[in-house]
Amino acid sequence: MKILMVITSHDQLGNTGKKTGFWLEEFAAPYYVFKEAGVEMVLSSPKGGQPPFDPKSDEKEFQTELTTRYKQDKEAQAALANTVKLAGVTHDGFDAVFYPGGHGPMWDLAEDPDSIALLEAFYAAGKYLALVCHAPGVLRHVKAPDGNWLVKGKKVTGFTNTEEEAVQLTKVVPFLVEDELKAKGGVFSKADDWKPYVLIDGKLVTGQNPASSGPGATVLLALLRSR
pLDDT in tens, 201-223: 999 999 999 999 999 999 999 99
220 Rama class: left (phi>0) / alpha (psi -120 to 50) / beta: alpha
pLDDT tens digits, 46-75:
999 999 999 999 999 999 999 999 999 999
CA distance 38 to 32: 10
pLDDT of residue 207: 98
Instruction: Name all domains of the chain by residue range, CATH numbers in brackets.
Output: 2-225 (3.40.50.880)
